[in-house]
Chain A
Amino acid sequence: MAEEATLQVSASETIGTLLARNASHYGSSIALREKERGIWKESTWAEYVEEILACAAGLEKLGVEPGKAVLVLGDNRARLYAGMLAVSLLGAYAMPAYPGATLEELQHFLGEVEIVAAIAEDQEQVDKILEVRTAGASGIAHVIYDETRGLGFYEDDGLMSWDHLIDIGRHDLNEDPHRRESILNRTKPDDPAIFMHSSGTTGKPKGIVLSQKNVLAAARNGHAAGAFEENEDVLAYLPMAWVGDFAITVAAALLWRFTVNVPERQETVVRDMREIAPTFYLAAPRSWDQMLTTIQVGMENSTPLKKWLYRFFMDRAVAAETRKLNGESGGALEPLGRLLGEAIVFGPIKDQFGMSRLKNAFTGGEAIGEDTFVFYRALGIKLRQLYGQTENSAINAIQSPGEVRLHTVGKPVPGVELKIADDGEILIRSDSVFKGYFNKPEATAEALEGGWLRTGDAGYVEENGQLVVLGRVSEVMYTAGGERYVPNYIENRLKFSPYIKDAAVLGAGLDELTAMVCVDFEAVGHWAEVNGVPYTSYADLSQRAEVATLLHGAFKRVNNALTEPLRLQRFVSLPKEFDPDDGEITRTRKLRRKVVEERYADVVAALYDGSKEVHVSAQVTYETGEVGKVERSLPIREV
């Protein structure tokens, strides 16, 4: 049991004590790099902790205290991370929100807990907070902003630049020499680290408070399972309101002293990734797919010689990797091909995308397509699957480097107990599991049973201990004929096609299955350019007969893998993409089934009443908040 003990978070460890440890023992190593005008500005742990302390002291002066919350709004910025840590040092709730959050979403957050201050990235976010304030949330007394541009003439009450806050805090720290220690030692392991939200596929997002013990336990468990090592270089590009970002770039970074690299802007992430070449990289399957599409489109546009070389090595590597995944052994020439391929094709491609130093690469959040998975393995990136959710601080199970299979998500990490309920639901018990939904006793009682977290996922454990996740328990549906199916499973299979970005499978309580799909504008657009298919807009492109043929192929492939009664019969290609601003998907791009089925009720009806065409007027919310309509007649296609 000695080993077990080391895996537990030591009882007194908190964010404060870890910050103190890093500042005193590793004060001169680099904690943060933030790109500003092309230059990666570095801060050591000593400087970073000093800034966090100043921020905490400043916030305390502004009235931030336990039980109150601070809204953190914006893209990844070093100062927003420092702000979140400062809030948790004070024992208050740091509540990150997606930078694209709408007014209603923010108002929903305000209804949960008293928000006394907000830390915003720039003018855009400040405007949003001021708007919420005028709409009645006068409780947000202070708004602190990072980027000062455009805010010079704002005269609203309580508006303050980050530098000003730090000045206040620093002055306060210098007056009392014991102030630093008292702030660092104030919180206990059970005090909150972060206030997250569930993705809200079925309703309003629920508040999830993870304690410092939770997130640090997850970081420790992940390390014990080999997810990351000490001193990793990571890129902070995931949305700050997603638990994966907090678990890696804050909790694990703190415990294992990562260097966190904050890109200049969302648009420069790809370039910044190349400049940094992170050693650890976690991305959703969607991002891996996107990168794969970019690589393939790039190779498609290349010269015949290079294309031939690429095909030659890639085909062999993919075949070798598939053999390995199926447990077969390769030929004698395989290592040679690997070596040459690495020098001529794989190495340069990995270099172009900043993956050449990548040791720990993960995909998580959803199922990943076989083609994508095998491609990256063939490229020499040891891509592994990770399974987790917000309620459990993001880390439940990961694959270990040696035992990667496509359909499993690996073994539960050390420190996480896992069992399968009688109805097939996966149950989890660990230090990293939260205490319950914020102010929602009923939901909490539903999710937590005697210390076991009901994950809501159906799955089973294979004989060798590998966990297999099938899909959401709540999503298991039945056709009129009583056939059981998981729409999400079929949708994911559809989305493995590079041409399909989103899909909604219909058929609950109906005779047969049909689908609505949104084409991928980049991939289909490029395909159209190459094949001489003219189009003017997304709406136009999505309805082209040629594109329908393309989608046909994808549907055929999916149908081949499905049993007869579950085959998809008809589909409609929608004239607009699903968008979180329109509420059709969540910010993490999960389908809001109810919303979609309501909004496209006409289409759903038409798919089953035998009509050949359906008139649609879809709602579009523009970035300015205005609402427009897309009107169009959509043909219904038979598979």
Chain B
Amino acid sequence: MFYRLSGVHHADYVSDTRIFKLPADRNLAAFIFLFGLVAPFIIPSLYLNSYILPWLIWTAAALGLNLVTGWAGQLHLGYAAVMAVGAYSAIHAARFGIPWEFALIIGGLSSSVIGSLFAFAALRVKGLYLALTTLAMQFVMDWVLTHSPAITGGSHASLQSPTLALLGQDITSDAGYYYVAFGWCVLVTIFMLNLKRTGLGRALVAVREKDFAAAILGVNSFYYKILAFATSSFIAGVSGALLIATFFFLAAPEQFSVNVSIQVLAMVIVGGLGSVIGSYFGVALILLVPGLVNGLVVAGSAGLGTQINVETLAHIPNAVYGALIVVVLLIEPLGLGKLYGNIRDYLMVWPFDQLRK
């Protein structure tokens, strides 16, 4: 209904490979971007910084994991560990007096190095074995963090993040934090959108579909897997550092524990493997819905005047939230991104039921 395709034609291949070929998609993206820009003036800072900001940073992180899992097809259960490497490296660098711009890059690069070093070893195996190996990485990193006072200050200590400053400007306001997160998320999104139309993206997809078939086509699958791990680790590292710098302000080992890894993976799977818009939805569902359901249940029970004891009340949201994930995956195993795609397709052929021959 909203998608008008007539008159959309391409006079050269450059125009044919644009990210948003349809005016409707282009307008929607532009609208969301503009909304993101003016959000601090519209949305109260409580919501902005406790919901939108973590949503954006986790989306950036989830997009990084999507690169490895969704595009290159490699299961990764140690993503939080890679984020931790970036977070701790960046904060230490900042504490050492290195400007934040470089500290963030150092964080990204060290994640990238550790992540790809590890991948060198882990990629000798495939599939479930790779998943287990990456899980091992997570546990190794957990152990290292809790047992290295030099890095974390010890198992129960936390590391204070110095004041964030970018381009010589101290960032202390809520809007400032938001814009940093927004900027990073936009950057990663643009990167991921472009990935689809590059040789790199196509090589990754070839590796995902069948790595030895890709090898027959002349795609060095081991090289591309390493590349995917390295790139994704870089995004993880910067996202981890920004998460501390703009949201937690303190770094502690349990912020990057194994259940965080599982959670990010859940975001990617619920959102849809290989889907950019899906990552946004997946993060929203995993990160924001529990709070929302909690609020609804509490408000509902108060409104109805029911006498539910506190313990039950604490469990209901979890059950509802779990059920929600199951329902989403039952309705559309390919995730929320595919659900969005279905709606888009429905409107695309409106009022017909299928594309004409």
Contacts and interface: CB of A to CB of B under 8 A. Distances in A.
Interface stretch (A323-331, A349-357, A527-535): A349-357
Contacts of B16: 38-39
Contacts of B10: 38-40
Nearest to B351: A306
A475 interface: no
A275 B7 contact: yes
B6 A357 contact: yes
Contact of A42 (B4, B6, B11, B353): B11
Nearest to B13: A39
A357 B9 CA distance: 14
Contacts of A298: 352-353, 356
Contacts, number: 73
Interface in B11-35: 11-13, 16
Nearest to A307: B351
A275 B9 contact: yes
B356 A294 contact: yes
B352 A352 contact: yes
Interface in A342-381: 343-345, 347-357
Given A40-B10, A275-B9, A356-B4, A299 B356 contact: no
A303 interface: yes
A236 to B, nearest CB: 15
A302 B353 contact: yes
A340 interface: no
A348 B354 contact: no
Given A270-B356, A352-B356, A310 B8 contact: no
B11 A276 contact: no
Interface string B315-355: 00000000000000000000000000000000001111110
Contact of B7 (A309, A348, A353, A357): A357
A631 B354 CA distance: 39
The DSSP consensus for interface residues of chain A is helix
Contacts of B5: 274-275, 351-352
B6 A356 contact: yes
B23 to A, nearest CB: 11
B208 to A, nearest CB: 26
B42 interface: no
B217 interface: no
Contact of A299 (B1, B6, B12, B351): B351
Contact of A277 (B6, B351, B356): B6
B7 A306 contact: no
A426 B121 CA distance: 90
The DSSP consensus for interface residues of chain B is loop
A298 to B, nearest CB: 4
B6 A274 contact: yes
A495 interface: no
Given A39-B11, A39-B13, A42-B11, A302 B351 contact: yes
A39 B5 CA distance: 16
B356 A348 contact: no
Contacts of A303: 353
Given A302-B351, A306-B353, A348 B6 contact: no
Given A298-B352, A302-B351, A351 B13 contact: no
A160 to B, nearest CB: 29
B11 A40 contact: yes
A354 B6 contact: yes
Contacts of B13: 39
B9 A40 contact: yes
A348 B351 contact: yes
Contact of A39 (B8, B12, B352, B356): B12
A208 B354 CA distance: 46
B351 A275 contact: no
A354 B356 CA distance: 13
A587 interface: no
Interface in B131-183: none
A275 B8 contact: yes
Nearest to A272: B9
Contacts of B6: 274-275, 277, 350-357
Contacts of A349: 351
B304 to A, nearest CB: 35
- Of A294, A343, A348, chain B has the most CB atoms within 10 Å of the CB of A348
B7 A299 contact: no
A303 B349 CA distance: 12
A301 interface: yes
B4 A41 contact: no
Contacts of A257: none
Contact of B4 (A39, A301, A306, A351): A351
B345 to A, nearest CB: 13
A548 to B, nearest CB: 28
Interface in A100-125: none
Contacts of B12: 39
A338 interface: no
B351 A41 contact: no
Nearest to A261: B9
A41 B10 CA distance: 9
10 contacts: A38-B10, A39-B10, A274-B6, A277-B7, A301-B352, A306-B353, A348-B1, A348-B351, A352-B356, A357-B7
- 9 smallest A-B Cβ distances: which pairs? A277-B7, A275-B9, A277-B6, A302-B353, A298-B352, A306-B351, A354-B6, A356-B6, A351-B4
